[in-house]
């Protein structure tokens, strides 16, 4: 039972901005929203995290609306090396948060084409 819903796959071209949206309608009040990136044959790695509004770091931006029922990962000017699977993670799909039962969704496979 995943607590998050994302598109299964997306295609883009080099140099474009890519936005991946994750739905988390039952997010707990104290849950943060975290995005991970996974390349083939590697473990996922942290990209960005936020609680509300907008967060930006050197690789991405994260937009979170006031109701926090969704979030959008924005990758500016993607390159071929951004081809990967992207996961958003919220928390326990059953509890009120902070139980440690961290359930991932299926993730979004981003294919960047030349």
Partner 1 sequence: NAGVTQTPKFQVLKTGQSMTLQCAQDMNHEYMSWYRQDPGMGLRLIHYSVGAGITDQGEVPNGYNVSRSTTEDFPLRLLSAAPSQTSVYFCASSWTKTTNEKLFFGSGTQLSVL
List residues binding partner 1 (CB under 8 A).
1-2, 30-32, 34, 36, 41-46, 49, 51, 87, 89-91, 97-107
Q: Which residues, at least 6 apart from 23, have a Cβ–Cβ distance to it below 8 Å? A: 4, 5, 6, 69, 70
- Cα–Cα distance between 63 and 65 in angstroms, integer? 7
Q: How far is the CB of 44 from partner 1 (least distance, A)?
A: 5
CB 49 within 8 Å of CB 59: no
Q: How far is CA 104 from the centre of its chain?
A: 10
Beta carbon nearer to partner 1, 18 or 88: 88
Beta carbon nearer to partner 1, 18 or 93: 93
Beta carbon nearer to partner 1, 49 or 72: 49
Beta carbon nearer to partner 1, 65 or 97: 97
Q: How far is the CB of 47 from partner 1 (least distance, A)?
A: 10
Q: How far is the CB of 102 from partner 1 (least distance, A)?
A: 7
Q: How far is the CB of 107 from partner 1 (least distance, A)?
A: 5
Q: How many CB atoms lie within 10 A of CB 93?
A: 18
Q: How far apart are the first and last CA of the chain?
A: 36
């Amino acid at each position: 039972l995943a607590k998050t819903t994302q598109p299964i796959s997306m295609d883009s071209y080099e140099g474009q901005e890519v936005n991946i949206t994750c739905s988390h309608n039952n997010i707990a009040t104290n849950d943060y929203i975290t995005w991970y990136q996974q390349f083939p044959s590697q473990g996922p790695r942290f990209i960005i995290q936020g609680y509300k509004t907008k967060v930006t770091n050197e690789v991405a931006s994260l937009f979170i609306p006031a109701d926090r029922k969704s979030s959008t990962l924005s990758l500016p000017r993607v390159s071929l090396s951004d081809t990967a699977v992207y996961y958003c993670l919220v928390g326990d799909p059953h509890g009120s948060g902070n139980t440690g039962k961290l359930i991932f969704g299926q993730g979004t496979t981003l294919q960047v084409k030349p």
